Amino acid sequence: MEDKNFKAKIKQIAVDHFDKNGYYGTTIRNIASEAGCSLPMIYYYYKSKKELFHEIIKKDYFDILSRQAEQIECDNLIDFYSDFVYELNNLNEFDKKIYRLGIKVYLGFDGDDELIEYLDSWEKNIASRHAQLVKPHLKPQQNAEVIVSTLIHLLENLIESIIVKNRFLPKEQIRQELSIILADKIKNK
């Protein structure tokens, strides 16, 4: 098997194990066994379980987030967020597992302390990133901080429904829930 393909196979098996068993319940030995290779072969590609898990979160999880955001092109704030959340329904199973792992680490349910700290640091920037998107669209005299905070909580809930609970959410439902928070707060164009 080609090097690149075998490394991808190892990662796919690892994602399955991490998703089912968590970071601490997964072993490199189990990954190697399922991959049909020796432990040294796994260690040829990844120095440790920690390195493998960190790559899945720091690279693959954030690649999915970026890819999802880049696909969306619209001027309307409600459409932007509706499209972002709705498109999570269309992730393939492998990407959903990676996304679910990212959520588990983000919530502090899985991963090592270093990775949890990494996502805590990332989380501190979420409000400012959403504020940059939302504030230009708000009517004057709106409490942007409260609107952004409420929006983030709703987005987390919607994403959890799709990714963690594996539920399909129709676009109209997503749009209606976002509209409750945003519709009367944003400027008409």
CATH number for position 10:
1.10.10.60
Whether 53 maps to a domain, the answer reads no
Report pLDDT for 186. 79
Same domain, 175 and 88: yes
In angstroms, the CA 14 to CA 52 distance is: 8
Whether 117 maps to a domain, the answer reads yes
The ranges of the chain with pLDDT < 70 are 1-2, 188-189
Report pLDDT for 99. 96
Q: Indicate left, alpha or beta for 22 from its phi (over 0: left) and psi (-120 to 50: alpha).
A: left
Determine whether 77 is exposed, middle or buried from the number of CB atoms within 10 Å of its CB (0-12, 13-18, 19+): buried
Report pLDDT for 189. 54
Report pLDDT for 177. 96
Report pLDDT for 135. 87
Whether 51 maps to a domain, the answer reads no
CATH number for position 112:
1.10.357
Same domain, 74 and 128: yes
Report pLDDT for 137. 85
Whether 187 maps to a domain, the answer reads no
Q: What is the DSSP string of the chain?
A: --HHHHHHHHHHHHHHHHHHHHHHH--HHHHHHHHTS-HHHHHHH-SSHHHHHHHIIIIIIHHHHHHHHHT---S-HHHHHHHHHHHGGG--HHHHHHHHHHHHHHTTSSS-HHHHHHHHHHHHTHHHHHHHHHGGGBPTT--HHHHHHHHHHHHHHHHIIIIIS-----HHHHHHHHHHHHTTTBPP-
Whether 189 maps to a domain, the answer reads no
Range of the domain at 40: 1-46
Whether 12 maps to a domain, the answer reads yes
Report pLDDT for 169. 97
Same domain, 65 and 144: yes
Whether 29 maps to a domain, the answer reads yes
Same domain, 70 and 12: no
Same domain, 32 and 85: no
Same domain, 156 and 70: yes
Token pair 């040294």 is found at: 40
Same domain, 116 and 34: no
Report pLDDT for 49. 96
Same domain, 86 and 151: yes
Q: How many domains is the chain partitioned into structurally? A: 2
Tens digits of per-residue pLDDT, 70-108?
877 777 889 989 999 999 999 999 999 999 999 999 988
Report pLDDT for 1. 53
Same domain, 80 and 164: yes
Same domain, 25 and 95: no
Same domain, 79 and 169: yes
Question: Measuring CA to CA, which residue among 2, 17, 6 is closest to residue 94?
Answer: 17
Whether 101 maps to a domain, the answer reads yes
